[in-house]
């Protein structure tokens, strides 16, 4: 039983947005350069420690594009670039190798690589599913989603029980703040294929206070299928984790939304 509240959750998100690392496809995604994918996913095999990705691209514009640097959201993930600035001439093809060190990690790990160019910023994502949670990168059938929804309607805390533990409990163990949000909340609320009744939290962030987020995360939202995440209510998160999650949602979450909007605006083509 997987992804009760969002029907599809990480499974469909991965299927629709993340290109499996083993697959290859043509260059069709335009984001300053033209890419084969801007997000790739890998199911880790037992014993794997360093996961390699390659984001292939071509400069289909008529001029040069200069890559100034590559920044990662975590030191465990590194993009290897040649001497900087890396000048990509018109028509030139290439690839950016990215390596993620998964030693000591478990669950679903997603890292962002920010490519800074003279034409704007490009965001690349690398995702690895480690251990039993790797199956969440597999698309769920309509029948599975319907069954999960029925189970959630009968008991919204079912998300923390049975087979759901692999996707909704294990990845949250030991996590705090932003990482905890990604594994406990983002799995449903960040899915573009989420059910209609599962809101995108980012537009809701502005103007919300501590009590609002405390209620939602610890005790659930009344009259909805939102579960209560606090252990005292049958959830999976302890008091310290709840506190770190509320602090992230209250202080950092709105700033991240502002940054995302700025990047999107910056990357929009100029009106002629």
Strand 107-117 versus strand 93-101 pairing type: unpaired
Walk me through the domains of the chain, giving residue ranges and CATH numbers.
9-131 (2.60.40.10), 156-258 (1.10.760.10)
pLDDT at 137: 45
Contacts of 254 (CB under 8 A, 6+ apart): 205, 206
- 152 exposed, middle or buried (CB, 10 Å; 0-12, 13-18, 19+)? buried
Contact 53, 42 (CB under 8 A): yes
Reduced to 3 states (helix: H, G, I; strand: E, B; else coil), residue 252 is helix
pLDDT at 31: 94
Q: Round to whole Å and give the CA distance between 52 and 78.
A: 10
CA dist 138 → 15, 132, 183, 254 (Å): 7, 12, 17, 31
Selection from 123, 76, 124 nearest residue 100 by Cα: 76
- What is the per-residue DSSP string for 96-158? EEEEEE-TT--EEEEEEEEEEETTEEEEEEEEEEEGGGGGGGSPPPHHHHHHHHHHHHH-GGG
CA dist 91 → 23, 24, 98, 228 (Å): 24, 20, 23, 53
Q: Round to whole Å and give the CA distance between 259 and 272.
A: 25
pLDDT at 36: 95
Q: Round to whole Å and give the CA distance between 208 and 158.
A: 28
Question: Could you tell me the maximum CA-CA distance found in the chain, to the nearest angstrom?
Answer: 60
Reduced to 3 states (helix: H, G, I; strand: E, B; else coil), residue 13 is helix
pLDDT at 20: 93
Per-residue model confidence as pLDDT tens for the chain (272 residues): 333 344 333 333 333 489 999 898 999 999 999 999 999 999 998 888 899 999 999 999 999 999 999 998 888 899 999 999 999 999 999 999 999 998 877 788 899 999 999 999 999 999 999 875 444 444 566 676 677 777 777 777 877 887 777 778 887 888 888 888 888 887 788 766 667 778 877 777 777 888 888 888 888 877 777 888 988 888 889 999 999 988 888 887 777 766 766 666 666 666 55
Q: Round to whole Å and give the CA distance between 20 and 42.
A: 6
Contact 139, 115 (CB under 8 A): no
Reduced to 3 states (helix: H, G, I; strand: E, B; else coil), residue 70 is strand
Report, in this order, helix, strand and coil percent for the chain, each rounded to 5: 40, 25, 35
* DSSP H helices in the chain: 9-17, 142-154, 165-168, 177-180, 186-189, 210-214, 239-247, 253-267
Contact 76, 100 (CB under 8 A): yes
């Amino acid at each position: 039983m997987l992804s009760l509240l969002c029907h599809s959750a990480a499974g469909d998100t991965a299927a629709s947005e993340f290109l499996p690392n083993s697959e290859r496809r043509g260059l069709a995604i335009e984001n300053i350069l033209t890419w084969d994918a801007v997000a790739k996913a890998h199911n880790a095999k037992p014993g794997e420690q360093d996961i390699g990705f390659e984001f292939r691209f071509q400069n289909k514009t008529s001029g040069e594009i200069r890559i100034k640097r590559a920044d990662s959201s975590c030191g465990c993930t590194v993009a290897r670039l040649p001497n900087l600035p890396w000048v990509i001439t018109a028509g030139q093809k290439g690839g950016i190798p990215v390596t993620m060190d998964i030693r000591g990690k478990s669950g679903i790990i997603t890292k962002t690589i920010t490519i800074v160019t003279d034409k704007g910023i490009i965001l690349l994502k690398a995702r690895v599913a480690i251990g039993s949670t790797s199956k969440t990168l597999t698309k769920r059938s309509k029948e599975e989603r319907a069954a999960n929804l029925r189970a959630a309607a009968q008991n919204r805390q079912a998300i923390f029980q049975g087979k759901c533990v692999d996707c909704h409990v294990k990845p949250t163990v030991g996590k705090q703040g932003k990482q905890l949000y990604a594994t406990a909340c983002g799995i449903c609320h960040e899915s573009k294929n989420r059910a209609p009744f599962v809101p995108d939290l980012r537009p809701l962030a502005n103007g919300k206070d501590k009590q609002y987020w405390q209620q939602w995360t610890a005790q659930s939202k009344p009259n909805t299928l939102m579960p209560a995440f606090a252990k005292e209510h049958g959830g999976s998160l302890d008091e310290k984790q709840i506190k770190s999650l509320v602090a992230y949602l209250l202080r950092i979450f709105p700033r991240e939304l502002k940054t995302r909007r700025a990047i999107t605006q910056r990357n929009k083509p100029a009106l002629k």
